[in-house]
Amino acid sequence: QSWTVVPDFTHHAHTASLSAVAVNNRYVVTGSRDETIQIYDMRKKIEHGALLQHNGTITCLEFYGTAHLLSGAEDGLICIWNTKRWECLKSIKAHKGHVTSLSIHPSGKLALSVGTDKTLRTWNLVEGRPAFVKNLKQNAHIIKWSPDGERYVTVITNKVDVYKLDTASITGTITTEKRISSLRFITDSIFAIAGDDEIIRFYSCDSQKCVCEFKAHENRIKDIYSFEREGEHVIVTASSDGYIKVWNLDLNKIKDVPSLLCEVNTKARLTCLAVWLDEASEMKENCDKAATSSQANEDEKSSIVRKKKVCWTDKSDRNISPEKQKLETPLQKKKKKQNSSE
């Protein structure tokens, strides 16, 4: 099958450049230097509202499942959002300086964050409190859990430290010539890194050796994303040269250079990248349930989440101080106005 990249939904989202983007099965959220987080409903292809809790550039955004979003910013705060009502469940003063990166454990019970106060902090998300602080020699700007949650990595300029969860100690270090701007796990033990050159490199967590490298762009690479679809492992890269490229990776031949599926010149200076997959429609097709609406799929997913008893249930609301600011999206405000006028 041939792949093409075409604009599907374009919106002038912010008054400044984008600094972070995240997706779940329904929404895309974007953070910017203009201190706001914008929400987009990708099923309806509409703007859904804005979140205004932070002061300072939004530095990191990460969804956990369908119900929660975590955001971090230069104000040192990490905010936990309920994505059903888009309200701030908890606002945590996480770092004395900026929050530079955060990552949620696959279980949803823990999160890690790094900031400009030279600390790596572990957060108990069930209770919304700090669990552990580790002092670093320098400021880390990326932190990432492996998909199986058994290890995590930090990036400090051009150095990657690999940690084991059970010992919280460094098991290996990888150093590159140029600054690293993006890291993405491809499997539980292999990750891709890119940065201030045109090369993407795959490294083994176990051996700390480079298993494959290839020139992907003509300029520095700003972000990498990966996903699996119909049995294919796909990598998407974005560069300052304006190009987005889509690559097919054969995990059985990890040492082989991925094949280019397609590319597009956006004619923009790209800063960050995420891939939204219409999983609900894909599930519908795969299950051959033409009569099932995407809303039914959504209801089914939320009931699964309830059965699993994923943490950060709404009991968190009761722990919030009275001065907690409850935010409303423009759509909610619009509805209120309509109701009052009626």
- Domain total in the chain: 1
Taking only the tens place, the pLDDT of each residue in 125-182 is 988 889 999 999 999 999 999 999 999 999 999 999 999 999 889 999 999 999 999 9
pLDDT at 19: 95
Whether residue 44 is contained in a domain is answered as: yes
The token pair at 219 is: 């300029």
Contact predicate 239/219, CB 8 Å: yes
Taking only the tens place, the pLDDT of each residue in 251-301 is 889 899 999 999 999 999 999 999 998 765 444 444 443 333 334 344 433
Whether residue 7 is contained in a domain is answered as: no
For residues 266, 270, 274 and 278, what is the CA-based torsion angle, rounded to 10 degrees? -20
Q: Percentage of the chain surpassing pLDDT 70?
A: 81
Whether residue 300 is contained in a domain is answered as: no
Residue 93 vs residue 307, higher pLDDT: 93
Taking only the tens place, the pLDDT of each residue in 238-258 is 999 999 999 999 988 989 999
- 255: amino acid identity, one letter: K
DSSP sequence for 132-198: EEEE-SS---EEEE-TTSSEEEEEETTEEEEEETTT-SEEEEEE-SS-EEEEEESSSSEEEEEESSS
Contact predicate 54/75, CB 8 Å: yes
Give the mean model confidence (pLDDT) for residues 31-37.
Answer: 95
Handedness of CA 320, 326, 332, 333 (dihedral sign): positive
Residue 223 pLDDT more than 60?
yes
Residue 319 pLDDT more than 50?
no
pLDDT at 52: 93
Contact predicate 101/112, CB 8 Å: no
Whether residue 268 is contained in a domain is answered as: no
Distance CA 86, CA 95 (A): 24
pLDDT at 75: 95
Can you give the residue range of the structural domain that contains 162? 18-221
Whether residue 321 is contained in a domain is answered as: no
Whether residue 3 is contained in a domain is answered as: no
pLDDT at 257: 94
Residue 310 pLDDT more than 60?
no
CB burial of residue 221 (10 Å; 0-12, 13-18, 19+): buried
pLDDT at 280: 52
Taking only the tens place, the pLDDT of each residue in 195-216 is 899 999 999 999 999 999 999 9
pLDDT at 320: 33
Give the mean model confidence (pLDDT) for residues 35-64.
Answer: 94
Rounded to the nearest integer, the mean pLDDT of the chain is 84
Residue 95 pLDDT more than 50?
yes
Whether residue 259 is contained in a domain is answered as: no
Lateral strand order in the sheet of 232-239: 221-229, 232-239, 243-249, 259-265
Distance CA 57, CA 34 (A): 6
Residue 323 pLDDT more than 70?
no
CATH number of the domain encompassing residue 211:
2.130.10.10
Q: Cα–Cα distances in Å, from 140 out to 104, 121, 137, 161, 175?
A: 16, 11, 9, 10, 14
Contact predicate 193/176, CB 8 Å: yes
Taking only the tens place, the pLDDT of each residue in 112-129 is 999 999 999 999 998 888
Whether residue 9 is contained in a domain is answered as: no
- 142: amino acid identity, one letter: I
Contact predicate 78/70, CB 8 Å: yes
Distance CA 284, CA 263 (A): 28
pLDDT at 6: 87
